[in-house]
Structure 1
Amino acid sequence: MTVQKNIMSRYVKVACLSFLITACAAIPNNAPVQNRPVGKPVTQLPPPPNSAHQNGSQSSHKGQSNAQNLQQEIFDLWRVFPGKTGISVHSLDEGWTVGQRLDDLFPQQSVSKLWVAMTILDQVDRGKLRLDDEVVITRNDLAVFYQPVRDKVLREGEVRESVASLLERAITQSDNTANDSLLRTAGGPEAVHDFIAKHQLGAIRFGPGERLLQSGIAGLTWKQEYSIGRNFYTARANLSYDKRKSALDNYLADPIDGASPRAISLALAKLSRGKLLSYGSSSYLLDLLNRVRSGPNRLKGGVPSGWSIGHKTGTGQDLPPISTGYNDVGILVAPDGRQYMVAVMLGDTTASIPERMQLMQSVVRAIVRNH
């Protein structure tokens, strides 16, 4: 492809820089992180599917056998895991997809930040926005849950952040206020819906933004005061158990931000192929995914030396003993450059956090064994 030829020299610099940043980034998490070598991340678009490594019937038969073995391993993991779980693994190079509950809708939670970022970068590609455009954020724009930019806003009253800075915050830190500010800049949820429809991404919904989404899941009506301190947690705790359970059950039954594991894995394949954004914007987003700080012990915890992964996590609300929307999706890259698009989505589960992480790591290890 001509776009790949034109940027090959750029890729070497980008990949090396991304490697150094990824290896050095501080990753906050309650669980311990194992130090291990990280393979070259994907910031270059891959060759077409008919590449030399998969030519010939012998390679084809091996790929089919590996896919069948992987399907069985995924089934064995899935059938004993408590709750509603969806898993999709798509081979970018061979075209097969295996998994469980591939087409059911699961809450995305912060996985949906992917579609906001893509919508923004699509507007950059079309000249509607620039990465250095500034976005004003005030106290009235603050969201809920994890939002590192909030301290700066509360301290200064009003801040101006570039689109590039907000993308960095939203993807690598999963900052909810940064994401909602990007969503507002893009034109709101309708702009994201339009992007998803234009690119025929299939069973991927997009919700109303973090404030309305999270308050609705909790059984609350949003008030801006909930964005400060622990006000949201206090208001939620004051609700009756029955009201919270009813709101959560309604959300899980028909998630407003739902997506299927298959649709997400195929959308990641389109991103990696350069079919959603320009080469520059595709590489930009892939680099951000390689530097995600959240979830180092989810999918990433199962990645062996020589392999790499760019990923995006999502985490929903809990109502003991149920946890919801515990997700990780990403692009797993083998030492030979072959890619697997992975989505593991836990709609609801009673499993502990270490057990959830272990499931995700086990899916990655199964892919590696059957590569």
Structure 2
Amino acid sequence: MLNTLLLAAALSGPASFADRAALQKDLTAIAAASDGKVGVCALEALDAEPVCVHGTERFPIQSVMKFIVSAVVLNEVDQNRLKLTDIIRVKPEDISPGPQEFADMIRAKGEYPATIEELMRRSIVDSDSTSIDVLLQRIGGLAKVQEFLKQRKVEGLRIDRNERDLQSEFSGLKWQPSYAAAGKFEAAVKAAPPAQKDQALEAYLKDPRDTSTPAAMVQFLKRLAAGEFLSAASTQKLLSIMEQTVTGKDRLRAGLPQSWKIAHKTGTSASWRGRAATTNDVGIMTAPDGTTVAIAVFIADSKQSSSERGAIIAKAARAVTAAFQGNRQKS
């Protein structure tokens, strides 16, 4: 079935948006509905210019970094330095802030033997922070990620901190080993002086670290899907895991026509004084004929509800697929 779709896509010629100016207008209107700053880009082909709103401005990426780090992990697999079946024994002292389902399992068992593949799945599908920090340590740290991006001439995208440091600094704290214990990090955040958290939030929104432009993100996604970064097997593995993402069901996935599918990763910050610093979703949307469109939507510093922010992202996906479909119907 997949080969048939790919053949149909090849025979129909390169896909493109029916009316790029109209799509630009639609995305601009969607972005204007947010009280925060919205960046969005859509890219249908590597040799095309993306259709963007604030496409060259930097936005915090939060947990979007987890699929990028996973690409670096899979590169280590391609280079025979790791195997997907390698076991890492995750201990309570390895726990990071974020979703605590896996953390609670580790604490209950005292130690959890996880494969590289399981940790990747948990970090992407469930956005588990402990898993990605353990994987980062296993591959040699952030320097390995930065080397990967530099070697592939990826510009406009940065990953500078692990989840422990990023989430601590977001709240005006410095990570301490004691925070790995159940409830300790959350208690420290709650106890931090409000003025300290105010200052930390403002610094976070201005910080160039751990950011991407929407244009850089869709280029990364398209190059990944095209097989420029990893072997065919590893590319398929990563995209397959991203298709299973369960977070952000009201974001990009909610805007897709039923016949489309998506491989994506969300990113969401904590909120302070009603301000959601980061609400993101990025991914590869696949049309019924097998052709793909990369999309990245970032919302920074919004006081709208979670559902309102999700709806904006979904509307962007709906506008992009409609523009693509319109072109298909004319061809």
Asked if TM exceeds 0.5, the reply is: yes
Given that residues 54 and 94 in structure 1 are in contact (C-alpha distance below 8 angstroms), is that contact kept between their aligned partners in structure 2?
no
Letter of the aligned partner of 2:200 in structure 1? A
Q: 1:361, 1:208 → 2: CA distance? A: 29
Counterpart residue number, 1:277: 230
Q: Is the counterpart of residue 318 in structure 1 residue 271 in structure 2?
A: yes
Q: Is the counterpart of residue 172 in structure 1 residue 125 in structure 2?
A: yes
Aligned with 2:80: secondary structure?
A: coil
1:117-172 alpha-carbon deviations (Å, 9 max, x no partner):
01100010011111111112112111012143212221222222111111111111
Counterpart residue number, 1:72: 25
Go from structure 1 to structure 2 and tell me whether the alpha carbon gap of 1:152 and 1:80 turns closer, same or farther (over 3 Å shift).
Answer: closer
Q: 1:351, 1:88 → 2: CA distance? A: 21
Q: 2:89 aligns with which of 126, 136, 160?
A: 136
Q: 2:35 aligns with which of 82, 102, 109?
A: 82
Given that residues 46 and 222 in structure 2 are in contact (C-alpha distance below 8 angstroms), is that contact kept between their aligned partners in structure 1?
no
Counterpart residue number, 1:122: 75
Given that residues 92 and 338 in structure 1 are in contact (C-alpha distance below 8 angstroms), is that contact kept between their aligned partners in structure 2?
no
Counterpart residue number, 1:266: 219
Q: 1:234 aligns with which of 187, 190, 193?
A: 187
Q: 1:306, 1:118 → 2: CA distance? A: 27
Q: 2:235, 2:73 → 1: CA distance? A: 12
Q: Is the counterpart of residue 95 in structure 1 residue 54 in structure 2?
A: no
Q: Is the counterpart of residue 213 in structure 1 residue 172 in structure 2?
A: no
Given that residues 36 and 302 in structure 2 are in contact (C-alpha distance below 8 angstroms), is that contact kept between their aligned partners in structure 1?
yes
Counterpart residue number, 1:3: none
| Between 93-102 and 320-329, the greater mean CA deviation after superposition | 93-102
| C-alpha displacement of 1:93 | 7.0
Q: Where does 1:15-164 land on structure 2 (aligned, <5 Å)?
A: 51-54=10-13, 63=16, 65-92=18-45, 95-164=48-117
Given that residues 85 and 348 in structure 1 are in contact (C-alpha distance below 8 angstroms), is that contact kept between their aligned partners in structure 2?
no
Q: 1:151, 1:112 → 2: CA distance? A: 23
Please report the TM-score for the alignment, with normalisation by the length of structure 2: 0.92
Given that residues 172 and 293 in structure 1 are in contact (C-alpha distance below 8 angstroms), is that contact kept between their aligned partners in structure 2?
yes
Q: 1:108, 1:328 → 2: CA distance? A: 9
Q: 1:66, 1:188 → 2: CA distance? A: 44
| C-alpha displacement of 1:64 | 6.0
1:301-356 alpha-carbon deviations (Å, 9 max, x no partner):
11111111111001112112210111000111111222110100012111111111
Aligned with 2:164: secondary structure?
A: helix
1:196-229 alpha-carbon deviations (Å, 9 max, x no partner):
1111121111122111111011001212222333
Letter of the aligned partner of 1:225 in structure 2? S
Q: 1:255, 1:245 → 2: CA distance? A: 18
Aligned with 1:311: secondary structure?
A: strand
Aligned with 1:335: secondary structure?
A: coil
Letter of the aligned partner of 1:53 in structure 2? S
Q: 1:290, 1:197 → 2: CA distance? A: 27
| Between 213-222 and 333-342, the greater mean CA deviation after superposition | 333-342
| Between 85-94 and 320-329, the greater mean CA deviation after superposition | 85-94
Please report the TM-score for the alignment, with normalisation by the length of structure 1: 0.83
Q: Where does 1:289-368 land on structure 2 (aligned, <5 Å)?
A: 289-368=242-321
Alignment length, in residue pairs?
A: 323
Q: 1:152, 1:266 → 2: CA distance? A: 37
Aligned with 2:113: secondary structure?
A: strand
User: Where do 5+ consecutive residues of structure 2 fail to align?
Assistant: 325-331
Q: 1:252 aligns with which of 205, 228, 236?
A: 205
Percent of residue pairs identical: 29
Q: What value does the CA root-mean-square deviation take over the aligned residues?
A: 2.0
Letter of the aligned partner of 2:281 in structure 1? D
| C-alpha displacement of 1:115 | 1.5
| C-alpha displacement of 1:231 | 2.1
Go from structure 1 to structure 2 and tell me whether the alpha carbon gap of 1:147 and 1:183 turns closer, same or farther (over 3 Å shift).
Answer: farther
| C-alpha displacement of 1:81 | 1.5
Given that residues 89 and 341 in structure 1 are in contact (C-alpha distance below 8 angstroms), is that contact kept between their aligned partners in structure 2?
yes
Q: 1:275, 1:322 → 2: CA distance? A: 38
Counterpart residue number, 1:181: 134
